[in-house]
Amino acid sequence: MNNRTSLEGCVSIVTGARGGIGRGISRELAAAGSDVVLQIERDQRDSVEVNDAARARPLVEEIEALGRKALPINCDVSNPAHVEAMVDRTIEAFGRLDVLVNNAGIVNTFRLEDMPEDEWDRVIDVNLKGMFLCCRAAIPHLKASAGAIINNGSIASFGGASGLTHYCASKHAVIGLTKALALELAQYDVTVNAVCPGIVDTPMWSEVLTPDPEQYKAVISRVIPLGRDQTPEDMGRAAVFLATNANITGQSITVDGGITSRAT
């Protein structure tokens, strides 16, 4: 992807593509000209070959309506064999890979003293180990295309939140991974950056963190200086910006309506 002013003719992988932010990123990449491989979450017990296209059909149709191709692949990002198979299928189907968006992530709430070990492991495995595995599998192909890696951080990458020690730990680590990997890949003209969402109207916020609609509205009015939540499309436009700019690497772009601008 030597011509970073456009995604025409490019191929992108978006993990966690069925979620709110993943859908927004996938649509914006397609609108910018990229074909998109859609990673759909699945259980580790499934075989590597499973491709659950039915669950992704609405998003596939949206991308095809934009004139681009979409390939859904059922994959557990915390499983090395699944991730390697996903990247192999991408190359078989399209012959190249230009952009990797590590968006897959999960969250739940536990005070640390009450947290089961398997809940800690599950969040770290998806949010951090999955990012490592996807980067490792994609890097040889991104070197060939002088491509881009975009990692999904969070405003939790810069602070703490009660009940979210495992989530905050994983998102802090994303920033360290992004900076270090940007240095490793700079000689190959591969950029590595992070998009850090604020409060986005997705199931993660509405179902897990603030399920009461009135509470959600109160949080927005209280903590966001711009007075409005962010959208999945906001994250998608940030991803396109980073994917098409060859001179930005190792950076964390916060899209949060001004939340992290407040003095602490």
For the chain, the structural domain boundaries read 11-200+232-255
Options 3.40.50.720, 3.30.420.340, 2.30.140.10, 3.40.630.10; CATH for 11-200+232-255 is: 3.40.50.720
- Ranking 78-92, 130-144, 206-220 by mean pLDDT, the lowest is 206-220
Q: Is the dihedral of CA 217, 219, 225, 226 positive or negative?
A: negative
pLDDT tens readout for residues 32-65:
999 999 999 864 444 444 445 677 889 999 999 9
- How far apart are the C-alpha atoms of 247 and 258, rounded to whole Å? 24
| Burial class of 66 by CB neighbour count within 10 A (0 to 12, 13 to 18, 19+) | middle
Instruction: Provide the sign of the torsion angle of the four alpha carbons 257, 200, 61, 152, taken in this order.
Output: positive
What pLDDT is stored for residue 49 in this prediction?
A: 46
Structure tokens at 190: 């591969």
Average pLDDT, the chain: 90
Using a 10 angstrom Cβ sphere, with 0-12 exposed, 13-18 middle and 19 or more buried, the burial of residue 213 is exposed
- Segment 5-16, tens digit of pLDDT: 789 999 999 999
The Cβ of residue 5 has, within 10 Å, a number of other Cβ atoms equal to 8
Model confidence at 205: pLDDT above 90: no
Give the pLDDT of residue 202: 77
Neighbouring C-beta atoms of residue 64, cutoff 10 Å:
12
Compute CA 151 distance to the chain's CA centroid, rounded to the nearest angstrom. Answer: 5
**In the predicted model, is pLDDT for residue 73 greater than 80?**
yes
Residue 111's pLDDT is 95
- Helices (DSSP H) in 126-164: which residue ranges? 130-145
Catalytic residues: 167
Residue 147 pLDDT class (50, 70, 90 cuts): very high
> Does residue 256 register a pLDDT over 80?
yes
pLDDT at 206: 63
Give the global pTM: 0.92
d(CA 160, CA 126): 19
pLDDT at 209: 61
**228 within 8 A of 259, measured Cβ to Cβ:** no
